[in-house]
């Protein structure tokens, strides 16, 4: 569960989001959307602990502060668009790194950890790629493996920054379906940023729309939401 209380974000002196209040509840998939430069990534990164907000509180599972990076990593997992192509590293090892917040000083995986890793790969449909080296895989496949890594991190909250951007249309829908399933079946709070309004409206439970400087949380299924989103993007209708 992620709660924003009176949160403002900005770049230097430029204010992007002002006094936002929102609750991202468990078992929901929320698509964070807005025009370019509206501060989607800034907000997402702040929740992930990679950036700062100018004022307000971000409450994750009831906490406003974490005592260590490892404690935060047991609460929130993060996936971005950065291409990860590490030569000589197998998918399974990459997903295994997701267990880092739980493993010993050397990062050794127990049988329990290994089961979680296999489970995460199976969930994203990449079990067959387990022993493949990352530098021999396509963008879409790497993206899935990175999501499996986030799953192995076994956190109640998952944040994804533009997860659909490298994928073709069928893969985009597949990915969104997968994320929806994870939210609904495993009770996770999933928040992702995206430009793709049609996919967001079709697959997400809620739309978090940054209508600068406001953040509006709208149910994706309601007709009025389409209208609000369309107006924000300055287009006639969706």
Partner 1 sequence: MKGRTAIMFITLATLSALLLLVDIGAGTVKLSIGEVADALTGRCDNPAISKIVIDIRLTKGIVAMIAGIALSVSGLQMQTLFRNPLAGPYVLGVSSGASLAVALFILGAPLAGGVTGTAASIGMTGAALVGSGIVLALIALAGRRIKDIMVVLILGMMISSGISAIVQILQYMSNDEALKSFVIWTMGSLGNVTGEQLPVFAGTISAGLVLAVATIKPLNLLLLGEEYAVTMGYDRRRSRTMVLVSTALLAGGVTAFCGPIGFIGLALPHVARMIFKTADHRILIPGAALTGTAVMLGCDIVSKLFVVPINAVTALAGIPIVVWVVFRNRQIAV
Q: How far is CA 53 from CA 130, 156, 226, in A?
A: 38, 22, 29
Span interacting with partner 1, options 10-18, 53-61, 67-75, 207-215, rule CB under 8 A: 67-75
Strand spans (E) along 54-205 = 55-60, 76-79, 157-161, 189-193
Structural contact between residues 79 and 158, judged by C-beta atoms closer than 8 angstroms: yes
Token digits for 53? 């907000």
The site map against partner 1 for 80-119 (x = CB under 8 A) is: x-x-x-xxxx---xx--xx-xx-x-xxxx-----------
Residue 193 CB, shortest distance to partner 1, in Å, is 15
Structural contact between residues 131 and 50, judged by C-beta atoms closer than 8 angstroms: no
Kindly determine how many residues on this chain lie close enough to bind partner 1 according to the rule CB under 8 A.
32
Span interacting with partner 1, options 70-78, 183-191, 198-206, 209-217, rule CB under 8 A: 70-78
Structural contact between residues 76 and 159, judged by C-beta atoms closer than 8 angstroms: yes
Is there binding between residue 210 and partner 1 (CB under 8 A)?
no
If you search the block for the tokens 């079990």, which residue do you land on?
Answer: 127
Residue 68 CB, shortest distance to partner 1, in Å, is 7
List interacting residues with partner 1 (CB under 8 A): 48-50, 68-70, 72-74, 76-78, 80, 82, 84, 86-89, 93-94, 97-98, 100-101, 103, 105-108, 135, 153
């Amino acid at each position: 569960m992620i709660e924003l209380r009176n949160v403002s974000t900005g770049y230097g002196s430029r204010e992007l989001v002002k006094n936002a209040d929102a609750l991202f509840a468990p078992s929901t998939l929320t698509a964070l959307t807005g025009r370019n430069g509206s501060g989607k990534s800034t907000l997402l990164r702040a929740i992930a602990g990679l950036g700062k907000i100018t004022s307000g509180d971000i409450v994750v599972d009831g906490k406003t502060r974490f005592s260590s990076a490892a404690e935060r990593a047991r609460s929130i997992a993060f996936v971005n668009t950065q291409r990860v192509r590490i030569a000589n590293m197998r998918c399974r090892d990459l997903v295994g790194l997701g267990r880092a917040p739980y493993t010993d000083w050397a990062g050794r995986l127990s049988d329990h950890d290994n089961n979680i890793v296999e489970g995460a790969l199976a969930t994203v449909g990449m079990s067959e790629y387990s022993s493949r080296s990352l530098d021999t895989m396509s963008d879409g496949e790497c993206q899935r493996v990175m999501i499996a890594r986030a799953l192995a991190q076994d956190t109640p909250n998952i944040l994804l920054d533009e997860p659909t951007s490298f994928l073709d249309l069928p893969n985009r829908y597949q990915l969104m379906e997968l994320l929806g399933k994870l939210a609904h079946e495993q009770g996770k709070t999933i928040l992702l940023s995206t430009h793709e309004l049609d996919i967001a409206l079709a697959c997400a439970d809620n739309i978090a729309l940054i209508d600068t400087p406001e953040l509006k949380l709208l149910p994706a299924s309601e007709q009025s939401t389409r209208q609000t989103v369309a107006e924000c993007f300055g287009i006639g209708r969706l």
